[in-house]
């Protein structure tokens, strides 16, 4: 189709070109950042100082006994504070995601290990066409000051396993720095409303550190467009991590085992049915 209209001017007999107005640029997406925190009052000043301009910050408090909430509100009077309804990082993220009002949701840690200054790289990957921007410490430009040899080897082995079973090409399975378009939230099937079940630890599956693997596997199952973003993991600034390489590694293995049959069922569905999901 022509981009200009030729308009004959009867009075002068001349031809005038009427140029169409330029297309408006896409509006900036609204960015929400979710920060799960449990007794991170000492770390929040460092984390919030590195935050770029974002539209919404949601702190999910896990029942802190220090001044985490007060410090967060002092540093960012516009912050929204959500109290998680069960235990664990996964439940904190589920509660935070459910409270977001933005177009893009970014998840970072409150201990200073994930660099908030990298958020624009994740947003750019999404704006360039990705549905799910996945942080990787093992892409060129990424790295870690914190990961041990044991955790690195375990992460590598688990990544290879998932790549074989799920047809992915992940370089870093167990890393908690991700961003995604909010319209895909339902893909992850996270429960942010059920009360804590009776049992040994009072958690649903996905409420612990296995949440990072769960998000990656369900993004793959849903065939989201996934882009790995190089990221550098820093040492925790203050305090001690609750991560346990052995027990949390077992939970990751169990997550893979639980999600794999669902992946096979998805693949066995007719193409038309899969497209309709």
Per-residue model confidence as pLDDT tens digits over 77-96:
999 999 999 999 999 999 99
pLDDT at 203: 85
Structural domain includes residue 263: yes
CA 139 from centre of chain? 17
What is the count of structural domains for the chain?
1
CATH code of the domain in which 205 resides: 3.90.550.10
For residue 213, is pLDDT > 90?
Answer: yes
Position 22 in a domain: no
Q: Are 87 and 209 in contact (CB under 8 A)?
A: no
Owner of token pair 């989201």: 224
Are 169 and 258 a contacting pair, CB within 8 Å?
A: no
pLDDT the model gives residue 59: 98
Mean pLDDT for the chain overall: 86
pLDDT tens-digit profile of 154-175? Answer: 889 999 999 999 999 999 998 9
Between 266 and 223, whose confidence is greater?
223
Q: Is residue 19 part of a domain?
A: no
Q: Which residue has the higher pLDDT, 197 or 240?
A: 197
User: Is 198 inside a domain boundary?
Assistant: yes
Strand order in the sheet with 178-181: 80-83, 56-61, 31-37, 104-107, 178-181, 132-136, 226-230
Q: Has residue 24 been placed in a domain?
A: no
Strand pairing category for 56-61 and 31-37: parallel
7 within a domain of the structure (yes/no): no
pLDDT at 250 over 90: no
Residue 246 pLDDT exceeds 80: no
What's the whole-model pTM score? 0.84
Q: What is the mean pLDDT of residues 238-255?
A: 77
Lowest average pLDDT, out of 35-44, 67-76, 173-182, 266-275, goes to 266-275
Q: Can you list the pairs that 146-150 forms with residues at least 24 positions away whose Cβ atoms lie under 8 Å?
A: 146/113, 146/233, 146/234, 146/235, 146/236, 147/233, 148/245, 150/245
Q: Is residue 229 part of a domain?
A: yes
43-55 mean pLDDT: 97
Span of 48-57, 180-189, 216-225, 267-276 with lowest mean pLDDT = 267-276
Give yes or no for residue 272 having a pLDDT over 60: no
Residue 3: which pLDDT band, with cuts at 50, 70 and 90? Answer: very low
Of the pLDDT bands very low, low, confident and very high (cuts 50, 70, 90), residue 66 is very high
Q: Which domain holds residue 204?
A: 31-276
CB atoms within 10 A of CB 207: 25
- Does residue 185 fall inside a structural domain? yes
pLDDT at 150: 84
pLDDT exceeds 80 at position 216: yes
Is it the case that residue 101 has pLDDT exceeding 60? yes
Share of the chain above pLDDT 90, in %: 68
Residue among 151, 150, 115, 81 nearest 237 (CA) = 115
What pLDDT does residue 21 have? 53
Among 13, 185, 191, residue whose Cα is nearest residue 101 = 185
């Amino acid at each position: 189709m022509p981009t200009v209209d030729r308009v004959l001017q009867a009075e002068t007999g001349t031809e005038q070109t009427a140029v169409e107005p330029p297309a408006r640029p896409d509006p900036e997406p609204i960015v929400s950042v979710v920060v799960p925190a449990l007794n991170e009052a000492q770390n929040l000043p460092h984390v919030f100082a590195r935050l770029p301009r974002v539209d919404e910050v949601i702190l999910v408090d896990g029942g802190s006994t220090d001044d985490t909430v007060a410090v967060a509100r002092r540093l960012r009077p516009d912050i929204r504070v959500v109290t998680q309804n069960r235990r664990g990082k996964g439940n904190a993220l589920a509660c935070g995601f459910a409270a977001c009002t933005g177009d893009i949701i970014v998840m970072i840690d409150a201990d200073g290990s994930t660099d908030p200054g990298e958020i624009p790289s994740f947003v750019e990957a999404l704006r360039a066409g990705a549905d799910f921007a996945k942080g990787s410490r093992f892409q060129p430009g990424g790295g870690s000051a914190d990961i041990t040899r044991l955790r690195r080897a375990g992460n590598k082995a688990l990544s290879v396993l998932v790549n074989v079973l799920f047809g992915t090409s992940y370089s870093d399975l167990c890393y908690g720095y991700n961003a995604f378009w909010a319209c895909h939230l339902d893909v992850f099937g996270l429960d942010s409303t059920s009360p804590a079940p009776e049992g040994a630890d009072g958690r649903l599956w996905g409420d612990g550190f296995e949440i990072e693997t769960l998000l990656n596997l369900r993004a793959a199952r849903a065939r989201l467009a996934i882009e790995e973003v190089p990221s550098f993991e820093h040492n925790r600034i203050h305090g001690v991590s609750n991560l346990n390489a052995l027990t949390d590694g077992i939970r990751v293995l169990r997550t893979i085992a639980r999600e794999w049959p669902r992946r096979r069922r998805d693949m066995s569905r007719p193409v038309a049915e899969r497209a309709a999901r």
